[in-house]
Structure 1
Amino acid sequence: MGLFGKVEEDRRTAGNAGSKEAVEHPGRGQAGEEVSALLVIPPDAPLALRMTPRSFDEFVGQEDVVGPGKALRKAIEGDRIPSMLFWGPPGTGKTCLARLVAMKTKSVFRELSAVTSGVQDVRNVVAEARKNRERGKRTILFLDEIHRFNKAQQDALLPHVEKGTIALIGATTENPYFAVNPALLSRMQIFSFKHLEPRHIEEIVKRAVEDSERGLAAGGTGEAGPEGEAGERVQLGTGVLEHIVTFSKGDGRVALNLLEALYNVSKAQEGQDGKVVLTLERALEITQSPRLFYDKLGDQHYDIISAFIKSMRGSDPDATVYWLARMLESGEDPRFVARRIVICASEDVGLADPMALLVAEAAFRASEHIGMPEAQIPLAHAALYVALAPKSNSAWAALDAAIGAVREKPAYPVPPHLRGTGYSGAQKLGHGVGYKYAHNYPGHWVDQQYLPDELQGTTFYKKGEHDIENRGRPRT
């Protein structure tokens, strides 16, 4: 697993309640009364959790969502919190913003993780919310990883959101139009979070290095360091910041977890002057290989396979092999990839080069029988063959047109001369009478009606520009 295994573990655990009990963030008490401890974060908590922003001044990124003057920021600052859903990639500030709401609101704030909670936990919060409502206080429920709740669990939230018993804030990395029940989604405002920009990651890392209260300048423990040593205790070596920015790929939590792992490894080499120097060499040892953002159940799964198919269709061999490599390096099932190559070979190459389907089908068999890593070679062979082959979608277009006719028009009867004759009495019914056997005619073709009477003259198949598509009977 390497040293970065700790980084990924911290990423999964940082910020989670770690319990099925609702985490209480009581907001403010009476008007103007500050509550002393909104987020009780132990000094030995992961750096990513310790650096949770405490104000909008510390919140980095998502200017389109909560930048100065934005509607959501005004709503949070004015304590007018609607039911809403934060949707975006990991480490982009969804949970941080929800906890910022907890710090600013006068409402009772409860936090659950859908990973560790169930319907009973929701019921407990709702029961409390009813009592709060009788006392004139609102209740906000923050449900992290809301997509982990199944349909029945999400349905349990619906009546309470609809009646206003709770204001629901959900956070998800999954496309909410697939992962959240439409009825619940229609009662929530959706805010889309984007990957953080390089400048955002730089700001997050620098702040964590220089913060003498919660960051590495406190000795890496979150305990305040000696006065005046902020930013002096830890030194970023040449190229380290750039490497963290590149490696994190817009994920602030990954950036902080990597920074902390690098600090912990480097601390053993602390100099006599008390400085800890973070070097690029150690950073490369920790990361070992580039992170690939690819979730087999999420948007990236569908986005990358879409890019792969469109690259083959668009005859771009370089893009084809790049997206193929992205999938294979991320652990995608080679059979899933092979099936898509087979489909593309038939749908997008089709009659322009019938061999493409045979090559793709052979690659599919190879992916089943050979296994990885060797199977990736025939997959590349087939994908590049399809990308470089001439293109025609005439087979797909013909089928699509025919299906349209079948669905939109009545089920017309089979012309009598085309009906089956494999039983006694068929000819008495007129079945097969007048049928012309094509092989008895010159060129193995004869002008004959094959479509139902009502569709005579209809053209479903339109010839492409390639030679093989211009074979067959002449149009009469």
Structure 2
Amino acid sequence: MNLFEQAAQEELKKQAPLAVRMRPRTLEEFVGQEKVVGPGTLLRRAIENDTLSSLILWGPPGSGKTTLAYIIANMTKAHFEALHAVLDGITDIRRVVEKAKERRIYLRQKTVVFVDEIHRWAKNIQDALLPCVEEGVITLIGATIENPMFTVNPALRSRSQIFRLDPLREEDILKLLRRALEDKERGLADLNVEAEEEALKHLARVAGGDARIALNALEFAALTTPPSPDGKRYISLAVAEEAVQTRPILYDRDGDQHYDIVSAWIKSIRGSDPDAAIYWLARMIYAGEDPLFLARRLMIHAAEDIGLADPQALVVATAAAQAIERVGLPEGRLILAEATLYLALAPKSNSVYKAIDSALEEVQKGENASVPLHLRDASYPGAKALGHGKGYKYPHNFPGGWVEQRYLPPSLEGKGFYHPSPYGKERDLVRAWQERCGKKPS
């Protein structure tokens, strides 16, 4: 690199966003993730002793994955290479691996390769890393926001330790914001910024655990606030709110967040918590989830977790699905919300779910029990000669429309599949059935 290139690079660093400029350079500067890199942890000891093995850093945006990789780069004696799965491919991997082999032979130096957003590489590209990771030619550090159990090849995953990073806490982000205000070299101290405590807390809160959102919002607020007569730039709560009017929601319709939030939504309905159920629904609608997918999930849930406790729940869910097809969004949000709240408030019973699965389990045992003769079809010529329908009692010919009769094969007689709950409409249905038939459910 010549002097002109070096000067240009230094200028680019100065013009980088605040979140990039303020990226911690040492473990002492690193904020949060104490369970992963706190004093005495396995990963911290490995970094400090330069005995790192291949690893995958899994966590949401802004949680410190890339920062941690570059801290390792500053602390290791190994050569450090950085690749980005969006920009680099097989050709870049081959180049890095060949150089790593040369370095290993001629300089006795290890190579650490950092791959940002490794989940974006197709499986065949990930496979190109496998031999050199297995042979120790490179030490891999992969960073991903997606669950590596689904997005990283099993063979590559088995040769790497997985460390999960959590969203940063509000107090962690507050610490980073204050550090940025005080830092003269990389931060905002030269702008003479004074921020209200409530403004900083607001930025930390709405960032949702993503330090980049908070830091870049702080910089935006500082740069767009004119200095007062005393030379200071005052950032009030109102200014902070304006700086982050709309925050992107972490949600991938094909990834981990999709499944986690859908799970939280369904479990909130099942747990009869309307506030939580409507919140998770709002998260998915805001993030652009397919409304027809949400409607299908409501229909399934109505049968699985409410069932006969309130048969009307399935009617409501089905009507919502049909209405969504006709109306769409944004008005359809009202339809999904009504169905979600109805299902959350409805009494719960999983007797339908348990009954059909219990019966299917019996069927899968393979006994293939014969249909009793009196229940067999007797509508075609010759059926009666075979004994089909003989002895069948037509219930409508008896008082109350019910008569004692065997309907299960003899081998299953007395076997109970349906176990009703004592809740809601199901309780009334069972009581009426008991009165009519003089029976008790199994």
TM over 0.5: yes
1:250 aligns with 2:209: yes
**Which string of whole-angstrom CA distances, capped at 9 and with x for unpartnered residues, describes residues 318-366 of structure 1?**
3332332333233332222222221221111111121111011111111
Alignment of 1:210-249 (within 5 A): 210-218=182-190, 233-237=192-196, 239-249=198-208
In the superposition, the TM-score normalised over structure 1's length comes to 0.83
More helix per residue: 1 or 2?
Answer: 2
Cα distance in 2, alignment partners of residues 433 and 378 from structure 1: 52
Which of 310, 315, 322 aligns to 2:279? It is 322
Equivalent residue, structure 2, for 1:21: none
Partner of 1:457, secondary structure, is coil
Residue in 2 that maps onto 1:176? 148
| Cα distance change on mapping 1:157 and 1:470 into 2, 3 Å | farther
Please show how residues 142-161 of structure 1 align to structure 2 within 5 Å.
142-161=114-133
The C-alpha deviation readout for 1:382-417, integer Å capped at 9, x for no partner, is: 222222222221111101111111223433333333
1:6 maps to what in 2?
Answer: none
Tell me the CA shift for residue 57 of structure 1: 1.9
Cα distance in structure 2, aligned partners of 1:410 and 1:168: 53
Q: How far apart in 1 are the matches of 2:61 and 2:285?
A: 22
User: Which of 376, 380, 399 is equivalent to 2:337?
Assistant: 380
- DSSP-derived class of the 1:399 partner: helix
Q: Which amino acid aligns with 1:123?
A: R
Q: Shift of residue 240 of structure 1?
A: 1.8
Give the paired residue count.
426
1:452 aligns with 2:387: no
Give the direction of change, closer, same or farther, for the CA distance of 1:131–1:350 in structure 2 (3 Å limit). Answer: same
Pairwise CA distance, 1:435? 3.4
Query: What does the per-residue CA deviation read over 1:149-187, in whole Å, with 9 as the maximum and x for residues that have no partner?
Result: 222222222222222221111111122222222222111
- Matching residue's letter, 2:148: P
Aligned to 2:67: 96
- Residue 260 of structure 1 corresponds to 219
Q: 1:387-406 counterparts in 2 under 5 A?
A: 387-406=344-363
**Could you say what secondary structure the match of 2:328 adopts?**
coil
Which whole-Å CA distance do the structure 2 matches of 1:471 and 1:117 have between them? 69
Whole-angstrom distance in 1 between the partners of 2:277 and 2:93: 46
Deviation at 1:110, TM superposition (A): 1.2
Does the 8 Å contact 2:207/2:247 carry over to 1?
no
Matching of residue 140 in structure 1 with residue 140 in structure 2: no
Tell me how far 1:217 sits from its aligned partner: 2.5
Show structure 2 runs of 5+ residues with no match: 1-5
Distance, in Å, in 1 between the alignment partners of 2:388 and 2:122 is 56
**Amino acid paired to 1:109:** F
| Equivalent residue, structure 1, for 2:236 | 279
Q: Distance in 2 between matches of 1:366 and 1:164?
A: 58
Verify: 1:126 aligned to 2:85, yes or no: no
Structure 1, unaligned stretches of length 5 or more? Answer: 1-35, 220-232
Any conservation in 2 of the 1:463–1:470 contact (CA below 8 Å)?
no
Give me the TM-score of the superposition, normalised by structure 2.
0.89
Aligned-residue offset at 1:92: 0.9
Equivalent pair of 2:218/2:243 in contact (CA under 8 Å)? no
Instruction: Letter of the 2:268 partner, please give it.
Output: S
Deviates more, 1:327-336 or 1:166-175: 327-336
**Aligned residue number for residue 3 of structure 2:** none
Structure 2 residue matching 1:43: 3-state secondary structure: helix
CA distance in 2, matches of 1:159, 1:427: 72
Query: Is residue 2:169 matched to residue 1:194?
Result: no
Distance 1:405 1:353, change over 3 A: same
Aligned to 1:10: none
List aligned pairs for 1:301-380, cutoff 5 A.
301-380=258-337
Q: Over residues 406-459 of structure 1, what are the superposed CA-to-partner deviations in whole Å (9 max), with x where a residue is unaligned?
A: 223433333333333454444444444443333333333333332233222211
Residues 303-324 of structure 1 deviation map (CA, whole Å, 9 limit, x = unaligned):
3322222222222223332332
